[in-house]
Amino acid sequence: MAKKKDDDCWKKGGKDCGPGEQPSIFDQLKKRPFKFSLWYFVIVMISLMLFNTYYVSRQQEKELVEYSVFKEKIQSGEIKRVGLGKENYFGFTTEDEGTSALVYKTVPVNDPLFVPFLDERGVSYYAMVTREPVLLNLLFQWVIPFGLLFFVWRLMFRRMGSMGSNVLSFGKNRAQIVAEGETGVTFKDVAGADEAKEELEEIVDFLTNPQKYTEIGGKIPKGVLLVGAPGTGKTLLARAVAGVAHVPFFRMSGADFVEMFVGVGAARVRDLFKQAREKAPCIIFIDELDAIGKSRINVMGGNDEREQTLNQLLVEMDGFDSTAGLILLAATNRPEILDPALLRPGRFDRQVLVDKPDLKGREAILKIHSANVKLDESVNLLEVAKSTPGFVGADLANIVNEAALLAVRDKRKKVKQGDFMEAIEKVVAGLAKKSRLINPREREIVAYHETGHALMAAKTEGADPVQKISIVPRGMGALGYTMQTPTEDRFLMTRKELLGKIDVLLGGRAAEELVFGDISTGAANDLTRATDIARRMITDYGMSERYRNVALTKRATPFLGERAEPVMAREYSESTQSYVDDEVARIIEERYGVVSETLRDNREILEKITKRLLEVEVLEAAEFLAMVG
């Protein structure tokens, strides 16, 4: 990808580059025709101070002497004339007034005999009117400095006002309008997130050709939420949208709404939508939505400011009609902490998963980032991609950069494969610290585990067919997944089907034990679900031997809440409880035996699929089914 300002700022800060890029106040001032500089102010202040000291020192151009010395000088006749001021006595060495004779100055003590003393000496004296230049002093010490300060203050505020972040207009938003094509990023610069790309390309199409959709009566979505681990390219995708959309694009980060003062964030949201409505059709992009969208339920003590901001966002989202050509785009890497209200239909009705890239995706990303890097013939990007499972786009961009730096350090003109391998090691060391990395052995365990699930799904009658197997880690503890899609809507399940479900769930752990002779913690979630099914078969569905057709629990829904789970009331004795526990254990044990046997019988297929999965990381249904036969 070509070097762009935006890219650099990502590298520096790692954060969203949107509002942070706004020119500082001084940059802003520099652009003004009248070049205001703080230096002017400083110069004026310094000259004022100099003048003041000079002025004062002129008054003090007299030799200050002790009172006794002063008297002595009168005695000796050196002082011929004395001026009696209120605070100082001045002694002149000449009789006539005009000449600037040497002057002594002293601070008088309470000496009532001083005047008689002067009379006695025959020294002329007079009461001196202190010519304190009150007005001038006032002017120089107070009026001018404060006037200047006021002037500068006014100036600053006027400038800030024109930037839209005036202190006097807190609520003004700081959204940056990105002009069309300005980001220079297109969808070609994004690789490996094909589904997300398709989705967003469609959004751009919605806005550029709305009649195409509205003619048929299609409804344009209001909000699209990009969800994915950090560094998977969510911000990049949004920039690509801005780069290709022929409509204004407002970009802002969630953190910009969070302010110290209650109500400021909400005002910003209001202002942002107001501006956007005026410019419709347009796109609003809120990066790092979780900063404002955090669930209101689990926050201890609450946060009025954020809550108000979130409420305002919800209100605005409800308030606009997508036919007006306004689409809200947002990104988050923590969808689980978002307030459920945000995800309700009519708000972010579309969620786009920006997954970590698989092998092919990683290769494509490496290609994009090394497009401008001179590569040796030895370089094999596929090999690099193979050695970087679990890496996201940002990590890969980092690797290309590191490799180039290594080549430069070696004073070579081209990057060779060795540089890449060294760069991977470097980046891996960094990532390992953040525990974002899976080691090869774990990867192998995950592959067998997922294949176990998939194989059981294929071998179990009535189980939902496998759609996809993946060992690309998804974050939040999920190291891999097997996706099954139901062929039809089901409202009932037979006993056999329930047991089949348990079989598929146990497939993962059974495969691990079969292959490695040991088991891992990776099956925790599977076991919870399998156990739950088994327990409900006994307590709810009356499928056990002793309590055939007896429901052991009573369900009650206490209130209609967001997450209200039906509360289970136990209506049986301790001995029944222990029977339920034993029976659950028995069912699981029995199924585990069946599953282990099935896998053992299909060991070859298990190995074959696992090997392939480790290679490509994601197996689609067609290839999987062909391998199972």
- x/- site string to ligand ADP, residues 590 to 619, per CB under 6 A? ------------------------------
Any contact of residue 234 with ligand ADP (CB under 6 A)? yes
Options 10, 104, 206, 448; binder of ligand ADP; rule CB under 6 A: 10
- Long-range contacts (CB closer than 8 Å, 24 or more residues apart) made by 77-81: 77/121, 79/104, 79/123, 80/123, 80/124, 81/123, 81/124, 81/125, 81/126
Residue nearer to ligand ADP on the CB measure, 185 or 504: 185
Sheet holding 481-484, edge to edge: 481-484, 466-470, 618-620
Asked, as a colleague might, if the bond just before 340 is cis with ω within 30 of 0, I would say no
Any contact of residue 232 with ligand ADP (CB under 6 A)? yes
Question: Minimal distance in Å, beta carbon 300 to ligand ADP?
Answer: 28
Question: Minimal distance in Å, beta carbon 192 to ligand ADP?
Answer: 5
| Pairing, β 567-570 against β 553-556 | antiparallel
SS3 332: strand
Query: Among Mg ion, Zn ion, ligand ADP, none, what binds residue 236 when CB lies within 5 to 8 Å by partner kind?
Result: ligand ADP
Residues that bind Mg ion (CB under 5 A): 235
Any contact of residue 243 with ligand ADP (CB under 6 A)? no
Residue nearest to ligand ADP (CB): 393
**Residue carrying the six token digits 């050709």:** 209
Contacts of Zn ion in 489-518 (CB under 5 A):
508
Options 7, 288, 526, 583; binder of Zn ion; rule CB under 5 A: 526
Q: What ranges in 469-541 are assigned the alpha helix state H?
A: 495-516, 524-539
Could you please report the per-residue DSSP string of 340-377?
HHHHSTTSS-EEEE-PPP-HHHHHHHHHHHTTTS-B-T
- How far, in Å, CA of 556 to CA of 549, rounded? 20
Options 65, 79, 123, 190; binder of ligand ADP; rule CB under 6 A: 190
Options 221, 335, 393, 480; binder of ligand ADP; rule CB under 6 A: 393
Any contact of residue 221 with Zn ion (CB under 5 A)? no
Q: What are the residues whose beta carbons fall under 8 Å from the beta carbon of 597, sequence distance 6 or more?
A: none
What is the widest separation between alpha-carbon atoms in the chain?
A: 137
Query: Among Mg ion, Zn ion, ligand ADP, none, what binds residue 526 when CB lies within 5 to 8 Å by partner kind?
Result: Zn ion
- How far, in Å, CA of 550 to CA of 318, rounded? 47
Q: What are the residues whose beta carbons fall under 8 Å from the beta carbon of 601, sequence distance 6 or more?
A: none
Options 235, 388, 553, 596; binder of ligand ADP; rule CB under 6 A: 235
Residue nearer to Zn ion on the CB measure, 281 or 507: 507
Question: Minimal distance in Å, beta carbon 195 to Zn ion?
Answer: 23
Neighbours of 579 (CB within 10 A): 18
Options 18, 192, 223, 507; binder of ligand ADP; rule CB under 6 A: 192
Any contact of residue 193 with ligand ADP (CB under 6 A)? yes
- How far, in Å, CA of 609 to CA of 627, rounded? 7
Strand partners, 64: 105
Any contact of residue 325 with Zn ion (CB under 5 A)? no
Tokens representing residue 180 in the block = 């069309």
Any contact of residue 332 with ligand ADP (CB under 6 A)? no
Tokens representing residue 426 in the block = 């470097």
| Pairing, β 249-253 against β 223-227 | unpaired
Options 123, 191, 404, 619; binder of ligand ADP; rule CB under 6 A: 191
Count of positions (residues) in the chain: 629
Instruction: Say if residues 222 and 347 touch (Cβ distance below 8 Å).
Output: yes
Residue nearest to Zn ion (CB): 508
Any contact of residue 233 with ligand ADP (CB under 6 A)? yes
Could you please report the per-residue DSSP string of 38-75?
HHHHHHHHHHHHHHHHHHHHHHT-SEE--HHHHHHHHH
Any contact of residue 184 with ligand ADP (CB under 6 A)? no
Backbone phi and psi for residue 458, each to the nearest 5 degrees, phi listed first:
-75, -35
Question: Minimal distance in Å, beta carbon 283 to Mg ion?
Answer: 16
Any contact of residue 335 with ligand ADP (CB under 6 A)? no
Residue nearer to ligand ADP on the CB measure, 208 or 333: 333
Considering only 39-47, 190-198, 500-508, 605-613, which stretch makes contact with ligand ADP by CB under 6 A? 190-198
Considering only 114-122, 123-131, 228-236, 437-445, which stretch makes contact with ligand ADP by CB under 6 A? 228-236
Helix axes 67-75, 114-121, angle to 10 degrees: 20
**Number of DSSP helices (H) and strands (E) in the chain, helices first:** 24, 16
Residue nearest to Mg ion (CB): 235
Options 178, 394, 431, 511; binder of ligand ADP; rule CB under 6 A: 394
Residue nearer to ligand ADP on the CB measure, 223 or 393: 393
Residue nearer to ligand ADP on the CB measure, 333 or 417: 333
Considering only 54-62, 100-108, 229-237, 422-430, which stretch makes contact with ligand ADP by CB under 6 A? 229-237
Residue nearer to ligand ADP on the CB measure, 393 or 522: 393
Residue nearer to ligand ADP on the CB measure, 4 or 159: 4
- x/- site string to ligand ADP, residues 342 to 371, per CB under 6 A? -----------------------x--x---
Any contact of residue 254 with Zn ion (CB under 5 A)? no
Considering only 200-208, 232-240, 520-528, 559-567, which stretch makes contact with ligand ADP by CB under 6 A? 232-240
- Choosing from 259, 363, 450, 583, which is the catalytic residue? 450
Asked about 422 being catalytic, the answer comes back as: no
Q: What ranges in 370-439 are assigned the alpha helix state H?
A: 381-386, 393-409, 417-433
Question: Minimal distance in Å, beta carbon 506 to ligand ADP?
Answer: 35
Q: How far is CA 175 from CA 178, 247, 478, in A?
A: 9, 15, 36
Q: How far is CA 620 from CA 121, 469, 482, 488, in A?
A: 121, 7, 10, 20
Tokens representing residue 612 in the block = 């392939």
Residue nearer to ligand ADP on the CB measure, 192 or 473: 192
Backbone phi and psi for residue 83, each to the nearest 5 degrees, phi listed first:
-105, 125
Any contact of residue 397 with ligand ADP (CB under 6 A)? yes
Query: Among Mg ion, Zn ion, ligand ADP, none, what binds residue 230 when CB lies within 5 to 8 Å by partner kind?
Result: ligand ADP
Contact footprint for ligand ADP (CB under 6 A): 10, 190-193, 228, 230-236, 331, 365, 368, 393-394, 397
Contact footprint for Zn ion (CB under 5 A): 508, 526
Q: Which residues are catalytic?
A: 450
